[in-house]
Amino acid sequence: MSRTFSPSSMLQQLPEQFFAKLAGTAAALKQEGHDVINLGQGNPDLPTPEHVVQSLQEAAENPLYHKYSPFTGWPFLKEAVAAYYKREHGVTLDPETEVAVLSGAKTGLVEISQCLLNPDDRALLPDPGYPDYLSGTSMAGADVTFMPLKQENQFLPDFGQLDSSVLDEAKLMFLNYPNNPTAAVANSRFFEETVSLAERHGICVCHDFAYGTIGYDEKPVSFMETPGAKDIGVEMFTMSKAFNMAGWRVGFAVGNASVIKHLNLLQDHLYVSLFGAVQHAAADALNGPQDSVRELTDTYKKRRDLLISGLRDAGWEVPAPAGSFFAWLPVPDGWTSEAFADKLLHEAHVVTAPGSGFGPSGEGFLRVGLVQPEERIQEAVERISKLDVFQQ
């Protein structure tokens, strides 16, 4: 008889995987034969640029890459990351000591808690926020203080609201701009305040720059552009969103040399870096023409405009997102996030993510992903417009 083995207490304390549940609901409705429009997830819908795919095809034939890659990644990839940051953000990085290759930013965002936190240490997390920050802090057994992101503060945390004892205790802070799920962007002044706070309280800042290329009005600011940022923190960047390479699993941590060293040490014990041909193609993407990146942002902008103007025409007062490929929509009066997401799901067959799934301060909002073609977004808007709540 097959035995059932009990999971470790570390596994038992993991939070529920919110996105997995969401994917299940959409799949179940499809199975029932409904034409479901899934705007609930953050999976880029468009293909990787052709020149990057070609680079992988060629590199796959190189026997050098059939061997184990160097443990911390090929030097040419780390050099490409440093060159990219120099060109795009004017930031100087030492490729060997200030760049770590990650199997996607998600990995690094979870690993950094294992690297820096002991049980009962404190971490500061944005609320609402990308759920994997909590996955990492839970695995480390750390305590967490949430920093509410409120509309009246442009969805930036109000550091003045944090107790000084909490700040003194905190070892790690997660930030993420352009933000998932609120679609807000940060400015240089906010990042300067962050560096000054982190210096005063000895906090390591981990800035998640996953949507770093997707800003609609201005080019998003890298945290690394802030004077002193490298002294107190790191930034995680990914190929997933900028180059539609979510399935390739390529990301980077850049910045503070001690944190990069810790990440590399942990990874030495867990992985042998990425397939060399994937690293080769990722370097080509970073070093090559960036037209596809700009075109992609234009595509999301068109989708954003279609969604926002359509919903406003229907009578739903929604703000336009400033960055990322999400829209963060306040639910109509009298509804909770979950109840309104349920209504959209069952009456319009449109999947959205209830804001409360990203933390208590997400209550009252829905996250909508701009990861469907314009026709599907138009169709979603038409179905939503017909709902009784918009008929008065």
Pick the closer one to ligand PLP by CB: 210 or 263.
210
Instruction: Establish if 113 lies at the interface with ligand PLP (CB under 6 A).
Output: no
Residue 194 as a binder of ligand PLP (CB under 6 A): the answer is no
Regarding 361 and contact with ligand PLP (CB under 6 A), the answer is no
- Toward ligand PLP, which CB reaches closer, 371 or 381? 371
Closest CA to 285 of 48, 38, 19: 48
**DSSP secondary-structure letter at 20?**
H
Regarding 127 and contact with ligand PLP (CB under 6 A), the answer is no
Nearest distance, CB of residue 52 and ligand PLP, angstroms: 15
**240 forms part of the interface with ligand PLP (CB under 6 A):** yes
Task: Select the residue interacting with ligand PLP from 38, 55, 137, 180 (CB under 6 A).
Answer: 180
Stretch that binds ligand PLP, among 59-67, 104-112, 146-154, 167-175 (CB under 6 A): 104-112
- Interaction of residue 104 with ligand PLP, rule CB under 6 A: yes
Determine, following the binding rule CB under 6 A, whether residue 208 of this chain makes contact with ligand PLP: yes
- Distance separating alpha carbons of residues 15 and 28, to the nearest angstrom: 23
Burial 167-206 (b: 16+ CB within 10 A, else e): bebbbbbbbbbbbbbbbbbbeeebbeebbebbeebebbbb
Question: Where in 299-338 is the site for ligand PLP (CB under 6 A)?
Answer: none
Q: Which of 38, 48, 182, 238 binds ligand PLP (CB under 6 A)?
A: 238
**Complete edge-to-edge strand list for the sheet that includes strand 233-238:** 99-102, 251-255, 233-238, 204-208, 170-176, 122-127, 143-148
Helix/strand/coil for 143: strand
Rounded to an integer, what distance in angstroms lies between the CA atom of residue 181 and that of residue 84? 26
Among 60, 83, 246, 314, binds ligand PLP (CB under 6 A): 246
Q: Footprint of ligand PLP on residues 150-179 (CB under 6 A)?
A: 176
Nearer to ligand PLP by Cβ, of 113 and 176: the residue is 176
Cβ distance to ligand PLP smaller for residue 190 or 211: 211
* Selected range binding ligand PLP among 100-108, 190-198, 298-306, 357-365, rule: CB under 6 A: 100-108
**Residue the block writes with tokens 């023409």:** 289
37 class by beta-carbon count within 10 Å (0-12 exposed, 13-18 middle, 19+ buried): buried
Could you say whether residue 367 binds ligand PLP (CB under 6 A)?
A: no
Stretch that binds ligand PLP, among 103-111, 119-127, 134-142, 252-260 (CB under 6 A): 103-111
- Does residue 106 bind ligand PLP (CB under 6 A)? yes
Q: How far is the CB of 250 from ligand PLP (least distance, A)?
A: 7
Q: Does 130 bind ligand PLP (CB under 6 A)?
A: yes
Question: Can you tell me which of 73, 95, 131, 251 binds ligand PLP, judged by CB under 6 A?
Answer: 251
DSSP class of 390: G
Please list the residues that pair with 38 across neighbouring strands.
Answer: 351
- The kind and range of the H/E element at 223 are none
Nearest CA-CA partner of 386 in 310, 294, 279: 310
Using CB under 6 A as the binding rule, whether residue 182 contacts ligand PLP is answered as no
- How far is the C-alpha of 367 from the C-alpha of 260, rounded, in Å? 32
SS3 state at 24? helix
Taking Cα atoms as reference points, which of 226, 222, 216, 218 lies closest to residue 370? Answer: 216
Helix (H, G, I), strand (E, B) or coil at 43: coil
Contacts with ligand PLP by CB under 6 A: the residue count is 14
By CB under 6 A, name the binding residues for ligand PLP. Answer: 42, 104-106, 109, 130, 176, 180, 208, 210, 238, 240, 246, 251
